[in-house]
Amino acid sequence: MIRRLLPGPGTADGGEELEEAYHHPAPQHLRLNFVASLDGAIEIDGRSGPLGGPADKQAFRAMRAVADVVLVASGTAVRERYGPVILDDPARARRLARQQSARPALAVVSGQGRLDRGARMFTGPDRVLVLTTSQVVSTRTDLGEVADLIDCGDGEVDLRRVVAELRERGLGRILCEGGPFLARGLMRAGLVDELCLTVSPLVAGVGRQTLAEIWVGPPVPLRLEAVLEADGMLLTRYATEER
Ligand SMILES: NC(=O)c1ccc[n+]([C@@H]2O[C@H](COP(=O)([O-])OP(=O)(O)OC[C@H]3O[C@@H](n4cnc5c(N)ncnc54)[C@H](OP(=O)(O)O)[C@@H]3O)[C@@H](O)[C@H]2O)c1
């Protein structure tokens, strides 16, 4: 059972209740979602799966179900062997009732554009958006056969342009699923509205990539907005301060 601790005690079980908990009223909103151990590890042997549990997976699905687009860096998409975003029928019906498309789009940020066009992520019914540089757009015509290549900068990817390009396509509710390099860029550019952090009741030990990698600079205060709990796992939602 998933218990709601904040705001107000209750439960948040099942897809619909969780989607209500994660639906954000603003049409333009960027949410960053991570799962970490108590000592901040965000991967175990290169994957985030061992850090999560059933409740975290339910919340992950609910966040996808309310997003217009799932944004992910190429590093994570490759390491985590991303596939097309799949939702069950009830979640799709709820999206249509909210005037959203049946599925969120999948958008991958890549500076080098060295994505394998045969990768699983390109096998879905919707074309993946690859947000990259003008150089990649002009040279990777083979990748352009399986994905929409979007020019987001000359020489390097400008993350402000990434967000603007998504918004221009009506993809305002952005769920960023990492990884740490992309998260740091978004944080640095002041583009993150919310950090959803699942704290796993686990100490992972040294030698892991940690959540500390998502920020370089003076401490940034965040405001706690919501906490769910299941099986000793805390699912938190923090808002960044108005900028
Ligand atoms: N615990 C969690 O919730 C969680 C979430 C996500 C990921 N992870 C873990 O994080 C690890 C992957 O991390 P990672 O170090 O590979 O970082 P990453 O942020 O997933 O990927 C980094 C790569 O993505 C591309 N990229 C990202 N931001 C970019 C930008 N602003 N401009 C241009 N290119 C950009 C670049 O690759 P190219 O230019 O070569 O394409 C860059 O080398 C995996 O082990 C994964 O399991 C954990």
Confidence grade of residue 242 (pLDDT, cut at 50, 70, 90): low
Going from the Cα of 184 to the center of ligand 1, the distance in angstroms, rounded, reads: 10
Angle at CA of residue 121, ends 117 and 124, nearest 5°:
105
Phi and psi torsions of 152, nearest 5°: -120, 25
- pTM higher than 0.75: yes
Please list, in sequence order, all residues whose beta carbon lies within 8 angstroms of the beta carbon of residue 115, skipping any fewer than 6 positions away. Answer: 74, 77, 78, 108, 130, 143, 147
Nearest by Cα to 62 from 25, 26, 16, 105: 16
Q: 91 lies in a domain?
A: yes
Q: 65 lies in a domain?
A: yes
Number of domains in the chain: 1
For 100-141, write each residue's pLDDT tens digit: 999 999 999 999 999 999 999 999 999 999 999 999 999 998
Q: 217 lies in a domain?
A: no
DSSP H helix total and E strand total for the chain: 7, 11
- Is any atom of ligand 1 closer than 6 Å to the C-beta of 178? yes
List C-alpha distances in Å: 88 to 22, 30, 116: 17, 23, 27
For 184-218, write each residue's pLDDT tens digit: 999 999 999 999 999 999 999 999 999 999 999 99
> How far out from the chain centre does Cα 1 lie?
24
Assign residue 141 the CATH number of its domain: 3.40.430.10
- Is any atom of ligand 1 closer than 6 Å to the C-beta of 51? yes
Q: Of the residues 31, 51, 56, 110, which should be mutated to test ligand 1's pocket, given the most ligand atoms within 8 Å of the CB?
A: 110
Whether pLDDT at 243 is above 60: no
Q: 148 lies in a domain?
A: yes
